[in-house]
Structure 1
Amino acid sequence: MTQTGLPARRTAHYLLMQITGEGRLMAELIADGAMARLDNDDRARAQRLANDALRGLDRADRMLKPYLKKAPPPHVMNALRLGVIELCGGEAAHGVVNAYVEIVARNKRTQPMKGLTNAVLRKIADEGPAGWDKRAVPLTPGWLRQPLVAAWGREAVTGMEAAHFAGAPLDLTAKTDAEAVANAVGGTVLPTGSVRVPNAGQVSTLAGFAAGDWWVQDAAAALPVKLLGDVKGLKVLDLCAAPGGKAMQLAALGADVTAVDISERRMARVSENLQRVGLTAKTVVSDAFEFTEDGFDAILLDAPCSATGTIRRHPDLPYAKDGSEFGALIDQQEAMIDHALRLLKPQGRLVFCTCSLLPDEGEVQAEEALARHKGLTIEAPHLQGIDPDWITPEGGLRLRPDYWADLGGMDGFYMAVMRKPA
């Protein structure tokens, strides 16, 4: 950080305000230039501080509650939350308190509350990390926690929340040799074949990045392609392909890949990623429903969804969203399954997957697809490293963040292989 740390802290405060107050996602804010004026170190620290605050928001609020007669305005509350995160992370009280007092004072509406900010943060500094550590794991916001408890039970959700709070290590998919990649980057090979790297630092500086030996992909996200088994020589469609991890997997396995995504910017990233790793695929910018080429041996549909399975890596999600878009997403997923099945050859296979923890975006979609399409079947998954308990009654695969707790967890995913009738 700079000497005062103020640029990074002000940016972290801005990010928190936009996410919790305006419902904007971190990725959207970064793409719009929220951190463009910061140097590289401050940019990384601002994002890390905002993410740490989002992961610990519920715990920070519990620490603050005894010192607040009523909730202050959001501008002040978010400054206090960030202060709690830093003070309980061991940062020097003098610099932290002064910085957030200044952030509060710079706003004309909240300037009179700089004294409150100073007093509360100094009390938090007295509690320090010990006060933080004795609090419970932060709870997921109620709008999401309630349906998760209904689906999986309180014990499972508590485990998910622990995984969300811990964050996610870096997972890599090797182009050819996972053991060689693990040795080069100081990682370990997971039971399903992904490489996990703790405390990875800057991704582009890891061994093998420039050579294209691997790409970043959560271990759970790497499994849908593996469900297809041997795809060498098959004509395979990757529908909703960005950022391209699954297209690269398919290409590395020898498939004739067509990658489709509606976003020109995101598809440019897919092309860049393919070029970096030395793989080829046909890339098409198109709405999924407007893409009508058929005759595919297999289709991978990673459908747009609530993304509730990715909170380990995207802690902004439960604060930027409120669930109001879920109904439209579920309808879209249903229509996409039907469209994808039309593009398959007879006896072709469709892998439907979503990075969601909600059964309505996973198990229920598969069950309803079976009911809509006579002769459609689901093939039971046979994959290295999976627990048989993860296989669902209809034949899909359910992954959750609380799985592999001793290894660092995984994203929440649902996936199923649907076989089109002859």
Structure 2
Amino acid sequence: MKPSRFVPPTEVPGLAARRIAADILDGVLHKRRTLDEQLEGTGAHPGLKSLSDRDRALMRRLVATILRKLGTLGHVLSRLLDRGVPTDAPRAQSALLIGATQILWMDVPDHAAVDLSVRLVQADRRAAKYAGLVNAVLRRCAREGHPLIEEVRTSMIDLPPWLVKRWVAHYGEDNAKAMAEAIGHEPPLDLTTKSDAAAWATRLHGEALSTGTIRTVLQGPITMLPGFSDGQWWVQDAAAAMPARLFGDLNGKTIVDLCAAPGGKTAQLAHGGATVTAIDRSPARIARLKDNLARLSLGATTVVADAAEWTGDLFDGVLLDAPCAATGTIRRHPDVAWLKQESDIGMLAAVQQRLLAKAVSLLKPGGTLVYCTCSLEPEEGEHAIAALLAAESGVKRVPVTASDVAGHAELITPDGDLRTLPCHLPHADPRLSGLDGFYAARLVKS
């Protein structure tokens, strides 16, 4: 019998994508590195350059699904392991998570999911001794895993307990469950267009939401989609597109966008006819913002500075999208759930108060301040504005109306602020439903 040719592990199709997925997962769960910094820029994983577009998409979906289903995965694996997940070999843990995720939620043949996970541990010095265990557990997962998922009766198991407790307290148990359920789904691609939303919805095989955003489930590199190179649209969640619209008519107005990068709201303001000054403390993020504006053929004055310390002219409007815990973005950035801690909220709330005071000082009399955060935590939204109004007698709230948000009165709080939840904007097709969690308030300086 002719011996089969030995294929080095690096040549096994799909193994490189899973090895990089394991590295990035380890970066999130054990080294507290965000997905963005591991996928883009100077800190990106060096192996990404060698992946095909298809393998890169597979890797990203694999990591995101694991982070979205981490609690459920923990339950399933705990039922299949007599002694728990090995703690002395992170690659064994990653291999089990990667294999189980493919078996339970992805269109990957079970035998391929098992084989590639076994190869992952075989290639790691500390994990190699667990190759037999990984093989056996994943084979059991293929046979018994789906019924074990049914034992988990709520998606809230896939979020940190401290966050679930907060959401139940602030929004009620039913809303908290609906939010967790929405976060568990891969989100659609949302785009803000420069013109003719209906036509672009057709070209991009999506639909135009009532708010004006284009929503599609197209897969593949963003840069290859129709209209990208022509600068006809930019990526922006439907909720994130709402705050800039609270200024109303922008023609001829001067607006400063504090903490502006990556620039979606800056683009909205400039496209609406405002003269925009965009400020961000990160040179790399300002460079990205400038690239985006150049592609879109839109102009703004850009400044690298700490917004809390910057001094400039008085403006007709200030947009403050403040740094926050970003818990409203977990559906798009599932690593946030596992990187943030409850203690972060108090520290960030202090930053937000400083920035709000600066924002007020930059307003002309009669000028409008729109404050927003992509956080679901009241300390970073409702409480921050209540504190500002108590401290600044010369600032008044201008309530958001249903017409400001395309008739969606359910997005307006009793105080007249905007509050979106991940479970808002439901759709018959779950792939086309949901919003990021956002808060926005509109204020005027008397």
Tell me how far apart the structure 1 counterparts of residues 14 and 387 of structure 2 sit (CA, whole Å): 53
Tell me by how many angstroms 1:131 deviates.
5.3
Question: 1:237-248 to 2 correspondence within 5 Å?
Answer: 237-248=256-267
| Match runs of 1:131-146 below 5 Å | 132=149, 135-136=152-153, 137=155, 138-146=157-165
| Equivalent runs, 1:193-204 vs 2, <5 Å | 193-204=212-223
Say which of 255, 265, 268 aligns to 2:284.
265
- 2:190–2:236 CA contact under 8 A, matched in 1: yes
CA offset digits 1:38-87 (Å, max 9, x no partner): 32332222122111111111111121121112322243222111111111
1:69 is matched with which residue? 82
Separation (CA, whole Å) in 1 of partners of 2:436 and 2:48: 29
CA deviation after TM superposition for structure 1 residue 17, in Å = 1.1
SS at match of 2:50: coil
Tell me the CA shift for residue 171 of structure 1.
Answer: 0.6
Q: Secondary structure at the match of 1:409?
A: coil
1:232 is paired with a residue of what secondary structure?
Answer: coil
- Higher mean alpha-carbon deviation, 85-94 vs 352-361, is at 85-94
Amino acid at match of 1:49: L
Amino acid at match of 1:413: F
Cα deviation digits, residues 185-236 of structure 1 (max 9, x gap): 1221111111111234321122111111111100000001111110100000
Structure 1 residues 48 and 390 mapped into 2: Cα distance closer, same or farther (>3 Å)?
same
Alignment RMSD (CA, Å): 1.8
Q: Distance in 2 between matches of 1:113 and 1:284?
A: 53
Shift of 1:405: 2.4
Q: 2:64 is matched by which residue type in structure 1?
A: N
Q: Give the drift of 1:140.
A: 0.9
- Contact kept in structure 2, 1:366 and 1:394, CA below 8 Å: no
- Contact 1:212-1:278 at 8 Å conserved across structures: yes
Q: Which runs of 5+ in 1 are unaligned?
A: none
Matched, 1:388 2:405: no
Counting only pairs closer than 5 Å after superposition, residues 6-405 of structure 1 correspond to structure 2 as 6-30=15-39, 31=41, 32-34=43-45, 35-40=47-52, 41-71=54-84, 72-73=86-87, 74-88=90-104, 89-127=106-144, 132=149, 135-136=152-153, 137=155, 138-382=157-401, 383-405=404-426
Answer whether contact 1:243 1:270 (CA < 8 A) is retained.
yes
- 1:418 matched residue in structure 2: 443
* More displaced 10-residue stretch of structure 1: 91-100 or 353-362: 91-100
Deviation at 1:2, TM superposition (A): 6.5
1:348-368 alpha-carbon deviations (Å, 9 max, x no partner): 111000000000000101111
- CA drift of 1:133 comes to 6.2
* Structure-2 separation of matches of 1:277 and 1:108: 49
Q: Does the aligned pair in 2 maintain the 1:4–1:99 contact within 8 Å?
A: no
- Cα distance in 2, alignment partners of residues 65 and 127 from structure 1: 13
Contact 2:205 2:218 in 1 (8 A): no
1:227-272 superposed Cα distances (whole Å, 9 cap, x missing partner): 1110100000011110101111011110011111111111111111
Q: TM-score, normalised by structure 2?
A: 0.90
Change (3 A) 1:196 1:378: same
Provide TM-score, normalisation by structure 1: 0.95
- Counting matched residue pairs gives 421
2-structure distance, mates of 1:181, 1:330: 39
Identity, in percent, stands at 41
Counterpart Cα distance in 1 of 2:316 and 2:176: 38
- Structure 1 residues 66, 188: closer, same or farther in 2, change over 3 A? same
Runs of 5+ consecutive residues of structure 2 not aligned to the other structure: 1-9
In the TM superposition, residue 294 of structure 1 has moved relative to its aligned partner by 2.6
Q: Verify the 8 A CA contact 1:212 1:277 in the aligned structure 2.
A: yes
In the TM superposition, what is the alpha-carbon distance from 1:297 to its structure 2 partner?
A: 0.2
2:370, 2:443 within 8 Å by CA — same for their partners in 1? Answer: yes
Q: Give the CA deviation at 1:280.
A: 0.8
SS in 1 for 2:215: strand
Instruction: List per-residue Cα deviations over 1:160-180 (Å, max 9, x = no partner).
Output: 111111121011111122122
* Greater Cα shift, 181-190 or 353-362: 181-190
CA contact (8 A) 1:176 1:252 kept: no
Cα separation, 1, equivalents of 2:213 and 2:116: 42
Structure 1, 263-272 or 203-212: larger mean CA deviation:
203-212
Distance apart, 1:378 and its partner CA: 0.8
Kindly provide the amino acid, as one letter, of the partner of residue 60 in structure 2. Q
Code of the aligned partner of 2:332: R
Q: Is the 8 A contact 2:197 2:213 kept in 1?
A: yes
Q: Distance in 1 between matches of 2:407 and 2:282?
A: 33
